Amino acid sequence: MEPLTRRPRRLRRTAAIRRLVSETRLSTADLIAPLFVAEGLDAPNAISSLPGYFQHSLDSLVDEISLLATNGVSAVMLFGLPSKKDALGSEASSEEGILQVAIRRVKQEFGDDVVVMADLCLDEFTDHGHCGVLDGLGNVDNDATLVRYQEMARAQAAAGVDFVGPSGMMDGQVAAIREALDDAGNIDVGILAYSVKYVSGLYGPFRDAVNVEIAGGGDRKSYQQDVANRREALVEVQLDVEQGADIVMVKPAVTYLDIIADVAHVVDVPVAAYQVSGEYSMIMAAAERGWIDGDAVALEQLTAIKRAGADMILTYFASALAPMLNG
Known catalytic residues are 197, 251
- The residue of the chain with the least Cβ separation from ligand PBG equals 206
Q: Which is nearer to ligand PBG, 54 or 206 (CB)?
A: 206
The secondary element (H helix, E strand) that includes residue 65 is: helix 58-70
- CB distance 279 to 254 below 8 Å: yes
33: phi then psi, degrees, rounded to nearest 5: -95, 120
- CB distance 280 to 302 below 8 Å: no
Measured at the CA of 142, the angle between CA 205 and CA 139, to 5 degrees, comes to 70
Q: Which is nearer to ligand PBG, 9 or 149 (CB)?
A: 149
- CB distance 32 to 312 below 8 Å: yes
Give the binding-site size for ligand PBG (rule: CB under 6 A).
Answer: 9
The two beta strands, 54-56 and 45-46, are antiparallel
Length of the chain: 327
Rounded Cα–Cα distance for residues 77 and 159 (Å): 14
Rounded Cα–Cα distance for residues 80 and 123 (Å): 10
Report the residue from 39, 91, 123, 240 that binds ligand PBG according to the rule CB under 6 A.
Answer: 123
Q: Which is nearer to ligand PBG, 123 or 162 (CB)?
A: 123
Q: Which is nearer to ligand PBG, 81 or 121 (CB)?
A: 121
Is residue 57 a contact point for ligand PBG (CB under 6 A)?
no
Binding mask 250-289 for ligand PBG (x = CB under 6 A): --------------------------xx------------
Is residue 167 a contact point for ligand PBG (CB under 6 A)?
yes
Q: How far is the CB of 45 from ligand PBG (least distance, A)?
A: 17
Report the residue from 58, 118, 121, 260 that binds ligand PBG according to the rule CB under 6 A.
Answer: 121
Binding mask 202-221 for ligand PBG (x = CB under 6 A): -x--x---------------
292: phi then psi, degrees, rounded to nearest 5: -140, 165
Which residues are at the interface with ligand PBG (CB under 6 A)?
A: 119, 121, 123, 131, 167, 203, 206, 276-277
